[in-house]
Amino acid sequence: MQTVNIPGASGGVAFSHVRAKRNDDDDLIVAASTATTTRLAQRRYAGGDRDQVRWVNAMGADYGIVAVPEDSPYDDLAELLDALEKDPQSVSFSGGDVVGGFDHLKVLMAAREAGIDDLRDIKYLAFDSGSVAITQLLGGHLDAFTGDVSEAMSFVESGDLRLLAVFSEERLPGELSDVPTAREQGIDVVAPNWRGFYVPGGVSDAAYADWKETLDTLYDSAQWKQIMKTNGLLPFHKSGDDMERFVEKQVNDIRELSETLGLVAS
């Protein structure tokens, strides 16, 4: 298998290339993630939309979290959201994604679920990476961090950071089993930063079925489980029609929220 990187526009250049040049290529798969669906939802790919390709499989995820310094006055997600409800500007968040990116949206989804209306007033500062965002948080410049599990774990293990919630469907395994989900705390938000693949929109049904079966088999293998562990991915698997429905819902949810914030390109 030949692997080619097509940089630009957070996957947008590759998406356009597939549509224009390789739309019926049965031998092509393209790596994707929640960053892909976020950009599609916000219409950041010129003329691009989710139904122009076929979504095959999700092969794992890095789940979203909200974290605070160890000495933070907030003991759980409810206390932090209560503070935001009283004053949306009272809690400032750091993240390693751009304003309007998925890290930012995770906090806004939780706030909206808690009944907070003034989402535009919630303070979010974007940094170059999650580690830089956490360093600024621990320096006393901000109140909370929004990002992914993998970005926070070394700071949790050192005792500098506490996880208030993980945005997963159920509690995560291993050392994260003590961290409550947002759902457990009354906030029905699931926010996986998934990793997976799509194929061109014009591929044959037989090719699509072959890719689905191949990637399903890979996901179930012991070798892939080890690769997931090595790279900080947690269990998250959807394929075929289930994956198509998941992507449709994620794009619609992100677009709806982004439209209220003026983040969708015209």
Catalogue all structural domains in the chain, each as residue range(s) with its CATH number: 9-61+192-260 (3.40.190.150), 62-185 (3.40.190.10)
Averaged over 235-255, what is the pLDDT?
Answer: 96
In a 10 Å sphere around its CB, with 0-12 CB exposed, 13-18 middle and 19+ buried, how is residue 12 labelled?
A: middle
Averaged over 11-28, what is the pLDDT?
Answer: 96
18-28 burial by CB neighbour count: b if 16+ within 10 A, else e? bbeebeeeeeb
Instruction: Give me the chain's average pLDDT, please.
Output: 95
Please write the tens of the pLDDT for every residue from 109-126.
999 999 999 999 999 999
- Reduce the DSSP state of residue 153 to 3 states and report it: helix
Q: How far apart are the first and last CA of the chain?
A: 38
The whole model's pTM is what? Answer: 0.88
Rounded Cα gap, residues 78 and 116, in angstroms:
12
In the structure, what pLDDT confidence band is assigned to residue 261 with cuts at 50, 70 and 90?
confident
